[in-house]
Structure 1
């Protein structure tokens, strides 16, 4: 799995994830997201279009990030979840809590 953080705007970060988001890799995403969500309120967009597999550990990572964002005042949104990710989000009902957008530009500021 690969995780890259880009500054999309002064108050927006785009985190691009590719590969498998599972028990063995979820901590890499958590390590990237935690410091972004702990700063001053802003938006963190997580691009999941390149994620080929998502298991419960990866899902837990996303939910934990969502909870952290709520407690710190940051905004967290998912960008273009791949078909395997979308399916897992729908099966678990997480898609009702974590909002997804087709592109970074479509996400609210």
Structure 2
């Protein structure tokens, strides 16, 4: 299954809603979307909605962590939310859920 990324704006917050699988074959598109959103001057906060993600591998985790570092470097808020089922379990097991879902 492919990855679909849809962006929506509310004030200075961008929400990227992901649907599908985040793996080695789809992670580049995700990284590009995250970078473009974080680097936009009129964006202060980025939310990554994982409610539609059915699979997440280590490359996806790496992309999310890189996004968080990029946002932190630019003093912007970055938060991952709504991970479900296996995706949430993988993020918990790897120890990154609290880092990605919390405040800087």
- Compute the TM-score of the two structures, normalised by the length of structure 1: 0.86
Alignment of 1:48-87 (within 5 A): 48-87=50-89
Q: Does 1:91 align with 2:93?
A: yes
Cα separation, 2, equivalents of 1:86 and 1:44? 19
What is the RMSD of the two structures over their aligned residues, measured on CA atoms? 1.5
Structure 2, unaligned runs of 5 or more: none
Structure 1, unaligned runs of 5 or more: 101-107
> Which aligned segments of 4 or more residues in structure 1 are displaced greater than 4 angstroms?
none
Cα separation, 2, equivalents of 1:90 and 1:24? 23
Aligned residue pairs, count: 100
Q: Does 1:30 align with 2:5?
A: no
Instruction: Tell me the CA shift for residue 38 of structure 1.
Output: 1.5
